[in-house]
Amino acid sequence: MSLVVMKFGGTSVEDPAAIGRTAAIVAGRVALGKQPVVVVSAMAKVTDQLLRAAAAASTGDRTAALEISSRLRARHRETASELVRNPADCAALIDFIDQRFDSLDEVLRGLAAILELTPRISDLIASFGERTSSRIVAAAFRERSIDAVHVDAREVIITDSQFQKAVPQDALIEARAAEKLRPLTLQGQVPVMGGFIASNEAGITTTLGRGGSDFTGALVGGALSAEAIEIWTDVDGIMTADPRVCSDALRVKLISFEEAAELAYFGAKVLHPATILPAVKKNIPVLVLNSRNAGCEGTRITSLAPHCSSPFKSIAVKKKLSIIDVVASRMLMTHGYLREVFAIFDKHKCPVDMVSTSEVSVSLSVDSNEKLSAIAADLGQLADVKYEGKKALICLVGEDIRGQNGIAAQVFTAVRHINVRMISQGASEINMSFMIDEDDADEAVRSLHAAFFKEPDPAVFDVEARKAASSC
Ligand code: ADP
Ligand code: ASP
Ligand code: MG
């Protein structure tokens, strides 16, 4: 039977109505003879609130932390009792939720006494979202006659011990998937597990980083050699720009793995940056679909995208970046200098997004973070250093820019009213990116969208939806 991994994001499990829609989508796949394995996120905004509770507790504000926990407990209890009508099943589920939140409260009280939030405790606290949502979803599925079995994702997704961004151990995951998931699917049961959460080999809870449930979906799909990986979210697929920024964004019908990976890395929140890799390794198609509009065919991510007459497929934006300028008039061209600069970023485990050099300076863009002042202090040993926050990287992605002349001129004409700081065209030749002030980012996206998606190629973009919208 063809196995399909279905990952549902926070908005697809945000309340009883959303979980009901999700159950109907999964039941529909079963009716088509498919064998689903389901991965769910925490209910929408729950991870943010858990991390807020952790932050409050770590500053000694025990009351605020416990208040957040109590609101979350009530939300999960209400959702459970609305979805699960069978009295015995409902009582067992509510009991489970209470036990989870009792233990969360214990952790928060301890944290408020110790006043130190370590990455390990942060992961433990964040894990409560997916641990609880996945139980509720599994029970709701059973109530709707889906033969669902809850599986604790921490017994399947094994990582190293880099808390908050743990690295999956592929061979171990494959063995665990064979042991914990395969027997269920062979019996036609539907495993339901939380995304994002994992554990190290010692069984200590880790997480895959924010937005990591997509990654779990792809890891499970890769480990089980699924026929397809479906990422169910709250938009019709990968769009030509974030629809929250650009209201006339179009659905991209087909996109290559390489383009999708580039978009995700450069801030298109619709997919976690690392999602594509496990799928690419096994050549498994990834589909991005809308749980609020299940009839829409979504976006299909495949190894090769068809030729497209538009140079770009989509525009991504990555905000909250900083630019670091390292100025050393005598040393820049000396042997080993850039290596020393990068060694400092490496030492602080700080990835660099973009680099540009001039005769006397090198400018680098990084995520704004608390490590910046320490990085700047280390760089200060080599050269003069300045850094500036509130920057955004705009990234246009498309395989069809390869070899086309005049594209850069069109890009910078479209944003001629905006001050551009750094420019780069990746060696992959499928992206063109530049850095601007964060406040100009939305305007830049709209201007570029208007310039490049005036006459979109109907083979690749859903132009019908635009026509339908303009005729009503
Ligand atoms: P989920 O909770 O399902 O994982 P996310 O919030 O992580 O959903 O991602 C979906 C959101 O990504 C959309 O609501 C949309 O605002 C945003 N987004 C950003 N860029 C794009 C894009 N190019 N195409 C589609 N959605 C995008
Ligand atoms: N719940 C996690 C987060 O909000 C993971 C996810 O939703 O993908 O980051
Ligand atoms: Mg997401």
249-273 residue pLDDT tens? 999 999 999 999 999 998 899 999 8
Looking up tokens 């990834």 gives 286
CATH number at residue 72: 3.40.1160.10
Nearest Cα residue to atom 5 of ligand 2: 211
Residues 360, 215 within the same domain = no
* pLDDT at residue 370 in the model: 78
Going by pLDDT thresholds of 50, 70 and 90, the confidence category of residue 329 is low
Torsion sign, CA atoms 268, 270, 276, 278:
positive
Closest ligand 1 atom to the C-alpha of 232? Answer: 3
Structure tokens at 365: 């863009």
Judge whether residue 72 has pLDDT over 80: yes
For ligand 2, atom 6, which residue shows the shortest CA distance? 211
- Give the closest residue (by CA) to ligand 1 atom 27: 242
Residues 65-79 have a mean pLDDT of 98
For the segment 134-152, the average pLDDT, to the nearest whole number, is 98
Distance 181 CA to ligand 2 centre (A): 22
Q: Is the pLDDT of residue 285 over 60?
A: yes
pLDDT at 114 over 80: yes
How does residue 468 score in pLDDT terms, banded at 50, 70 and 90? confident
269 lines ligand 1 (CB under 6 A): yes
Which of residues 406 and 26 earns the better pLDDT score? 26
Q: What pLDDT score does 81 carry?
A: 97
Cβ–Cβ under 8 Å, residues 241 and 198: no
What is the distance, to the nearest Å, from the Cα of residue 173 to the centroid of all Cα atoms in its chain? 20
Tell me what pLDDT residue 367 has: 87
Give residue 19's pLDDT: 98
Q: How far does residue 296's CA lie from ligand 1's centre (Å)? A: 16
Query: How are strands ordered across the β-sheet holding 384-397?
Result: 352-357, 361-367, 314-327, 384-397, 431-437, 422-425
- Tell whether 251 is covered by a domain: no
Q: Give yes or no for residue 238 having a pLDDT over 70.
A: yes
Same domain, yes or no: 186 and 39: yes
Q: Which two tokens stand for residue 366?
A: 């990084």
pLDDT at 299 over 80: yes
- Number of structural domains (the chain) is 2
pLDDT at 470: 66
CA–CA dist 190, 22 (Å, integer) = 13
Q: Residue 338: which pLDDT band, with cuts at 50, 70 and 90?
A: confident
For residue 158, give the H/E element and its range. strand 158-159
Q: What is the distance in A from the centroid of ligand 3 to the CA of 289?
A: 12
Q: Does residue 38 surpass a pLDDT of 70?
A: yes
Q: Determine if ligand 1 sits within 6 Å of the CB of residue 212.
A: no
Is the domain of 229 the same as that of 372? no
Burial class (CB in 10 A: 0-12, 13-18, 19+), 367: middle
Residues 24 and 166 in one domain: yes
Evaluate if residue 35 carries a pLDDT over 90.
yes
Kindly report the average pLDDT of the chain as a whole number: 93
Does residue 230 sit in the same domain as residue 327? no
Phi, psi angle pair for 256, to nearest 5°: -80, 160
Of ligand 2's listed atoms, the one at least distance from the Cα of 208 is 5
Q: Using a 6 Å cutoff on CB, does residue 41 contact ligand 1? A: yes
Beta bridge partners, 262, equal none
pLDDT reading at 467 higher than 80? no
Residue 201 has pLDDT above 70, yes or no: yes
Q: Are 233 and 12 spatial neighbours (Cβ–Cβ below 8 Å)? A: yes
Residue 254: alpha-carbon gap to chain centroid: 19
Asked, for residue 382, whether it belongs to a domain, the answer is: yes
Select from 15, 235, 317 the residue to mutate for testing ligand 1; criterion: most ligand atoms less than 8 Å from CB.
235
pLDDT over 90 (residue 189): yes
37: amino acid identity, one letter? V
What's the CATH number where 388 sits? 3.30.2130.10
Among 188, 213, 234, give the residue marking a domain's end: 234
State which ligand 2 atom lies nearest to the alpha carbon of 129.
1
Q: What is the pLDDT of residue 339?
A: 87
Give Cα separations from 231 to 65, 251, 326 (angstroms).
32, 15, 41
- Residue 250 resides in a domain: no
Domain C-terminal end among 195, 210, 234: 234
Q: What is the pLDDT of residues 84-93, one digit of tens each?
A: 999 999 999 9
pLDDT given for residue 406 in this prediction: 86
Higher pLDDT, 403 or 406: 406
Which residue segment(s) compose the domain that 45 sits in?
2-234
Of 204, 234, 264, the one marking the end of a domain is: 234
Residue 332's pLDDT is: 55
In this structure, the residues whose C-beta lies within 6 A of any atom of ligand 2 are 9-10, 41-42, 47, 129, 195-196, 210-213
In the reported structure, the alpha carbon of residue 112 is separated from the centroid of ligand 3 by a whole-number distance in angstroms of: 30
The rounded Å distance from CA 166 to ligand 2 centre is: 14
pLDDT beyond 60 at 472: no
User: Is the Cβ atom of 230 under 6 angstroms away from ligand 1?
Assistant: no
pLDDT reported for residue 302: 86
Same domain, 50 and 168: yes
Return the higher-pLDDT residue of 467 and 406: 406
What is the pLDDT at residue 336? Answer: 78
What the block records as the tokens of 150 is 């809850």
The reply to whether 288 falls in a domain is no
Same domain? For 227 and 340 the reply is no
- Compute the average pLDDT of residues 222-242: 97
134 shares a domain with 37: yes
Residue 327 and residue 461 share a domain? yes
* Pocket flag, ligand 1, residue 42 (CB < 6 Å): no
Across the beta sheet with 158-159, the strand order is 158-159, 197-200, 205-207
pLDDT tens digit sequence for 416-466: 999 998 887 766 678 999 999 999 999 999 999 999 999 999 999 999 887
Q: Domain check: are 324 and 211 in the same one?
A: no
Residue 381 lies in a domain: yes
Same domain, 227 and 318: no
Q: How far from 163 is each of 46, 267, 354, 372, CA to CA, in Å? A: 19, 22, 26, 20
Inter-residue contact 437 to 392 (CB < 8 Å): yes
Is 443 domain-assigned? yes
Which of 313, 214, 196, 206 lies closest to 269 in space, CA to CA?
A: 214
Tens digit of each residue's pLDDT (9 = 90 or more) over 303-316: 887 788 889 999 99
- Residue 56: count other Cβ atoms within 10 Å of its Cβ: 21
Q: Is 359 a residue whose pLDDT tops 80? A: no
In a domain, 297, yes or no: no
Query: How large is the average pLDDT for residues 137-144?
Result: 97
Same domain, 224 and 325: no
Question: Which atom of ligand 1 lies nearest, measured to the CA of 10?
Answer: 2
Residue 182 lies in a domain: yes
